[in-house]
Amino acid sequence: MSKTVLITGASSGIGEATAKYFLQKGWNVAATMRSPSKADNWLQKKNAIYPYLDVTKPETISSAIHETLQHFGHIDVLINNAGYALMGPLEGVTPDQLEHQFKTNFFGLVSTIQTILPILRQQGGGTIINVASIGGRLAFPLTSSYHATKWAVEGLSESLRYELRQFGIRVKIIEPGGIKTNFINHGTTWATHPDYTQMVNNLKQFTQKIDDSLPEPQGVAKTIYRAASDRSARLRYSPYGEAFFLLHAILPDRLWRSLVERIMLGKLDSRLKVNRAFK
Ligand SMILES: NC(=O)c1ccc[n+]([C@@H]2O[C@H](COP(=O)([O-])OP(=O)(O)OC[C@H]3O[C@@H](n4cnc5c(N)ncnc54)[C@H](OP(=O)(O)O)[C@@H]3O)[C@@H](O)[C@H]2O)c1
């Protein structure tokens, strides 16, 4: 009997690449998305469905899970992938922006897990894969809101792993490095504040510069597939992220931070230099 995976945010990027890879491997795929009109030809297959699921709307989580069960009879793996980044200085972040960031990246993931848990327990097991980021254990400039959500996903996942082992449910965390998707230059929402303009422009220049050199999402899809098929107790998988964790572990903290500043923020403006002189 073919296994079934349910993926959130499968309309583009890592979610889409992952859905395609699981289909290629002969799985039943529920490639959920908040705009099923974006479903492409690749989804017109007998073993694929694309239910409407917006992680900020709990009723759509229940209905997508229900539709998947009706169609395939069981769900073996849940991949919580939907997400976006709220970037910009914390001083400029509005309560609505922060709330929406948490509703999507964190509370949406929590609701999806809570909805599917009784089903996985009744089935006698399963796997929950949460897509965090290298930014779930490291932090970079002007990304505080996004990091807060991904650090929360890391903590939740690591703790959850202990409580679900007794039910045969595995929890896995995927921590991709920078990947070429809509995420970095199109999927991002920016908070603004006039006193951070120079810094924001420097970071935008950096992200535009690196965009073309980033790896495609297929490599992450393969890692997610490996995690889904891995019966070991391994918790974390870091496609294109290992080098960052290694550097962070071996460099002294101050050197790491200074490298991050130089590389991501480029030439510091004179006011920032003055502020640094007082540190
Ligand atoms: N790309 C990177 O460098 C990178 C690195 C580390 C981690 N990640 C993580 O990887 C995951 C996927 O991102 P990506 O890089 O593949 O970016 P992406 O191409 O922008 O894909 C994001 C997906 O999430 C969906 N989404 C956003 N809000 C949603 C909501 N409320 N309900 C349901 N779906 C929603 C989007 O749907 P729409 O098409 O409707 O907008 C899209 O399908 C995210 O969790 C991101 O944090 C990405």
pLDDT digits (tens, 9 = 90+) for 57-113: 999 999 999 999 999 999 999 999 999 999 999 999 999 999 999 999 999 999 999
State in Å: Cα 87 to ligand 1 middle: 14
Name residues contacting ligand 1 (CB within 6 A): 8-9, 11-15, 33-35, 38, 53-56, 81-84, 104, 131, 133, 176, 178-179, 181-184, 187, 217
Give the number of C-alpha atoms closer than 13 A to the C-alpha of residue 114, restricted to the C-beta side. Answer: 10
pLDDT digits (tens, 9 = 90+) for 227-258: 999 999 999 999 999 999 999 999 999 999 99
Q: Where in the chain are the domains?
A: 4-277
Alpha-carbon distance of 176 to 129, in angstroms, equals 13
Probe target for ligand 1 pocket from 16, 20, 21, 34, with the most ligand atoms within 8 Å of CB: 34
Alpha-carbon distance of 24 to 20, in angstroms, equals 6
CATH class of 4-277: alpha beta
Is the confidence at residue 271, as pLDDT, over 70? no
Q: Active-site residue numbers?
A: 146
Coil, strand or helix: which one is 193? coil
Minimum CA distance residue for ligand 1 atom 1: 179
